[in-house]
Amino acid sequence: MEIKDDNTFVLPSLYGDNVLNVVYVESVESGIDNQEVSNIKITVFNHTISILNKPDDALVEVYDINGSMIAETCESTVAIDGTRNIVIVKVGGRAYKVAL
């Protein structure tokens, strides 16, 4: 997908159960050295978290919003009970806020 000069783009047609991740990054100096871009993508369907591009040896930790660990695995999918709406997923040292 290409962003035009006027900062617009056209989304492809989606059919069935699909996930479309759109990330818009504006080039700005952050003042932070050694920035890294992660290839890890996190998707959620029916309270099951899927981690794409997870290194095989990376540990996945899931925390509730109070900081209590609710899951720990080396698998790429984690099922979370339906009572939680937001969790923190930590993969290989990076944390991601995830809405369920």
* CATH, residue 84: 2.60.40
Note whether residue 53 is domain-resident: yes
pLDDT value at residue 15: 72
Per the structure, the count of domains in the chain is 1
Model confidence pLDDT, tens digit, residues 32-86 = 666 666 788 999 998 899 999 999 899 999 999 899 999 999 999 999 987 888 9
Note whether residue 71 is domain-resident: yes
pLDDT value at residue 83: 83
Q: Which residues are within 8 A (CB) of 43 and not within 5 positions of it... i.e. 6 or more apart?
A: 19, 21, 49, 50, 52
DSSP label of 13: P
Q: Taking a C-beta distance cutoff of 8 angstroms, is the pair 76, 64 a contact?
A: no
Note whether residue 17 is domain-resident: no
pLDDT value at residue 38: 74
Give the residue, 29 or 45, on which the prediction is more confident. Answer: 45
Domain range for 91: 41-99
Q: What is the pTM of this model?
A: 0.63
Residue 30, both tokens = 């952050």
Note whether residue 83 is domain-resident: yes
Q: Which residues pair with 44 in a beta bridge?
A: 49
